Amino acid sequence: MRSIISLGIGLGITITAEGVENEAELNYLRAEGCHEGQGFLFSRARPNEEIVGLLAAQCGTNVPLKTDGSGRSSRVA
């Protein structure tokens, strides 16, 4: 992880660690310079529709959805 984090920092990009499950992992990643994390420490997996609703509430806007006919939806860019 240290090498990947160093590479990202050297390239000037935001580093996001996936699969962070506990405070010890988060503390290690922060100490190494990782900018962001995601995983069960922050939230369980959630369906797309719920995430879109959370983002809309946080941004104070409606996030339009489109469906592909399979019941799956995605944000309209």
**Cβ-based neighbours of 13, under 8 Å, separated by 6 or more:** none
For 38-57, write each residue's pLDDT tens digit: 999 998 989 988 988 888 88
* Pairing, β 65-67 against β 73-75: antiparallel
* Degrees to nearest 5, angle at CA 14 with 12 and 19: 145
* Pairing, β 16-18 against β 73-75: unpaired
Q: What is the mean pLDDT of residues 15-23?
A: 96
- Encoding tokens for residue 27? 């503390």
pTM of the prediction? 0.61
